[in-house]
Every structure is written in C-alpha cells, then in structure tokens.
Amino acid sequence: MEILNYFKALSDFTRIRVLNILLNHELNVNEIVYLMDMSQPRISRHLKILTDAGLLECRRDGKSSFYLVPAKGPGREIIEAIQYLMEDEPLLKQDLACAENLVLARKERSVQFFDHIASRWDLLKREILGDFDLNEAVIQATPPSDVVVDLGCGTGELVEKLQYIAGRVIGVDSSSKMIELARKRVYPDREKVDLRLGELEHLPLKNEEADCAVVSMVLHHVATPDRFVSEVSRVIKNNGALVIADFDKHHDESLRQTYGDRWLGFSKDEILGFLGPNGFTMIEDRSFKIEKNLTLNLYRSVLSADY
C-alpha cells in the first residue's frame, strides 16, 4: 500500500527534521550535513528514503545535488496534511532558525564575492562571451517599453543601452559595489535611470511597476530561480515581456569558483519549468556559441493577462 511507504519514510525523527527544513529551503547535501551535524553517508541514506517515497525531489547540477520538497503531487499533499504537527516542536523551530542563518550567510558570501570582483566584472564576462555582443542580442529581443527593469544590472553596461529603447530604466543589483560602478557609468541622466540596491528574490519594486524585465547572465547566480521568476511576475504588468539570457546546461565546474555561479546553466525544459507555473508563455528562443565550449540561450516570454 502506498500509504505505508509514506509512513515508513516518516517514521524517523532525523527524516522529519530534514523534511521540515527542506519544506522551507532548497539545500545541497553538504549544507544538510552541516545543519544535521551527521556524516554524509548517513544523511544520504535518509535523503534517499525520502526521495524514493516521493517526499523529496533531487535536482542534480554538475557534481552537486540539491534537495527540496515537491511543489505539487501526492508527496506534497501528504506533507501539507501533517505540517501542523511540526509547527510547535522546539527542535524543529531551532532547525529552521539554523537553516535561515545558513541561507543568510550564503547570501552574504555571494554579495561579498561580487563586491570583490566588481571592478573586474566586465573583463571576466568578456572572457566567457568573446566577440559575441550579448547586450546587442538582448536589446534586439527587448520590446520598446515605458519602463524596463534590468535585474542583476551589475556595472550598468546593459542599462546604458536600454535607455535608448525605454522611457525609463530601473537597474537592480544586490552588490553595492556593482551599483556604485553602474552609477558612474549611466549618471548624470538621473531622470531616465533609477538604480536600486536589493535582493533579487525580494525585489525593491512595486507590483506591476515595469512593462518589461531583462535578466541577462543572472539566473545561474540565483539560489532559487523559480522563486525569482515568481517575483518577476509580480513586478511586471500583464502582457509584459521577460527576456532571459543564460547558459545552456553544461558541466564546467570551474565557473562556480571563478564567476560565482550557483547553477551550471539551464536546459530549455528547466527554463519552461520556471516560466509556465508563474504565468509566462515563451514566444522566442535562440542559441549562440560562445567561449569555453559553452552555449548561451536567449528567451523571450510574455506574462499572461489572466495571471
């Protein structure tokens, strides 16, 4: 009986602790090992039992494995049915507090990384892009709009060009050093450009503030791409466009260290998996060969008026 598989998987306190954490955060194996203070083989065994029962999903990315609770399906329904039983357990609350601290520390390390390399960022990008003019390709895919937001604007290279096809451009980045360099590049035209410091998964934008959003070589840095795309759907108007430029799926682990990448690119199916549930319909996709045997994909989608 299927119900026995669920109950067997749940009949261990460590697995309950892991499940409670992953209901709130997507983590890799090393992060779970750290939080549980247990050996990796032991944690891997618990993760396998929960995954085999359909209570967890594993997302593999290069040599890394990330675990999370399914967004939908029978496993999700079982977890939601028993979730109230976990809410008042002191140890489970403590686990969530530790997990939150871990996620915050990860974000701080990422911000520090980009602050550190901000002055070299344009050069590092060219090592990957070679002669390919990514900004021009993005501009061609971006419809003229009253307000365009460049999410993860970096040093403002793209913001500078977006001014010519938009009435107003908003640039957002989580690195204060990047924003500082962007201001030097695009100001003094302050009436057309608004640069904001803020997290990409909690955008400093009002609901439906923009007509179009551009996400160029940023998605592979975001910890939770699906939640990020959900935030994008909040800040752009119905029938607004979303342009995403990012690596195709690859296996070059060196990009994590050199460029701070969290994800090794995305397949088209993965991108569709981020877009569809958040109200977007893909209307165009193109591919370009760049340096290091990598492929860059460019997607244009539209937010449904009914979403």
pLDDT at 187 over 70: yes
According to DSSP, the residues that pair with 287 across neighbouring strands are 297
Task: State which fold the 120-303 domain adopts.
Answer: Rossmann fold (3.40.50)
Q: pLDDT digit string (tens) for 197-233? A: 999 999 999 999 999 999 999 999 999 999 999 999 9
**Residue 77, both tokens:** 């329904």
- The DSSP result for 191-241, as a single string, is TTEEEEE--TTS-S--TT-EEEEEEES-GGG-S-HHHHHHHHHHHEEEEEE
Domains 2-88 and 120-303 share a fold: no
**Residue 71, both tokens:** 């967004």
What pLDDT was estimated at residue 257? 82
- Kindly state the average pLDDT of the residues 95-107: 93
Average model confidence (pLDDT) for the chain?
92
- Grouping H, G, I as helix, E, B as strand and the rest as coil, residue 212 is strand
Of residues 151 and 192, more confidence is placed in: 151
Q: How confident is the model at residue 62 (pLDDT cuts 50, 70, 90)?
A: confident
**Residue 111, both tokens:** 């911000």
pLDDT at 110 over 90: no
In angstroms, how far is CA 306 from the centroid of its own chain? 24
Domain spans, the chain: 2-88, 120-303
Domain 2-88 has CATH 1.10.10.10: yes
pLDDT at 188 over 70: no
What pLDDT was estimated at residue 260? 85
- The DSSP result for 15-41, as a single string, is HHHHHHHHTT--EEHHHHHHHHT--HH
Considering only CA atoms, which of 60, 56, 58, 47 is closest in space to residue 75?
56
> Cα separation of 251 and 197, whole Å?
32
Share of the chain above pLDDT 90, in %: 76
